[in-house]
Amino acid sequence: MGGRRIVVYISAIFFIACVILGLYFFARKPVKVSMPVLDEEKKVIIFKDVKYTSEKKGLVDWEINAKVAKKHIENPLVELEGVEGYYKPKPDVTIFFVGRKGFIDTEKEEGRIEEVDFVYKNSYRLKSSYMEFYFKRGITQTEAPVVIEGTKLQLRGLGLKADTEKEVVVINKDVTGVIETEKGRYKFESDRFSYALKDNVYTLNGRVIMKGEDMNLMCDNLYLFTKGDNELEKIDAIGRVRLISKGTLAKSEKAVYHFMEDRVVLTERPKLLRDNVEMEGESIVYNPEKRQFSINKPRMRLEK
């Protein structure tokens, strides 16, 4: 898992949160519609080629188009078909999305879009069979499988919840994925994944496993810290840490992977087990490039 400047492309999760914020505005009135048609049998008014937009400081920051919109006369329900649009969380960033159909309850300010497909910079795609939107609470969620596909990152999980007020995105369970870097390909899995936008911290919780070609890392919680343009600065592994490389096992309660220095430092009761010999010390350092361990102030004992 070597490399002094490995860029983590897990920042695709940030774009999920941006899309969610854009979809918050679904319940606003259309600014462009064709002549409505009254369907007496279903008691709905049918609009074709409907456009919903929002402006910020005179510039359009999102736009939603529907081929067909059906406004129910006897209740506040609006059905949408053939949904597509875009959202601009920043002036230089545009996120496109499409959905087969959906609906909005204009009184409760709740909605749902089915077969959602988001595209970000032609590099990443987020897919799910549906997304539910609770506009008053700022919550977007699904219990369906979520898939993120990109040139450098693939991520899958079951269920997603995003809270725009707390600025937190969570994939609920059964998280698996792959990260492609300049130095290799790494697989990971965990019970849960979250991203805190304010702190710019990614977290894997519960039965965390990260596998590289020559290094496997297991722990209870894994925290990924980035800086600049989402360049990975360090990884903190906390709780029952196990690092395995070339038949050698290192154990501790905490490990920090410093990417700029290309070293993993294990602290808090660190131990090294190799060839039935257990060694302890103040800290254990692993060099991913050389695949070597070193112990600070070692103490040794033989396993019988």
pLDDT digits (tens, 9 = 90+) for 119-144: 876 777 889 999 888 877 778 899 99
Q: Is the dihedral of CA 172, 86, 54, 198 positive or negative?
A: positive
pLDDT digits (tens, 9 = 90+) for 159-211: 999 887 788 889 999 999 887 766 567 899 999 999 887 787 889 999 999 99
For residue 4, pLDDT over 90 is answered with no
For residue 268, pLDDT over 90 is answered with yes
Q: Would you kindly state where each structural domain of the chain is located, as residue ranges?
A: 9-180
Closest of 9, 13, 59 to residue 197, by C-alpha: 13
pLDDT number for residue 155: 87
Closest of 155, 106, 114 to residue 135, by C-alpha: 106
Query: From its phi and psi, is residue 171 left (phi > 0), alpha (psi between -120 and 50) or beta?
Result: beta
pLDDT number for residue 252: 97
Q: Whole-angstrom distance between the N-terminal and C-terminal Cα of the chain?
A: 33
pLDDT number for residue 242: 97
Q: How many CA atoms lie within 13 A of 218 on its CB side?
A: 8
The arithmetic mean of pLDDT across residues 92-118, rounded, is 85
Element (DSSP H or E) covering residue 12: helix 12-23
pTM, two decimal places: 0.75
pLDDT digits (tens, 9 = 90+) for 46-64: 999 988 776 766 676 677 7
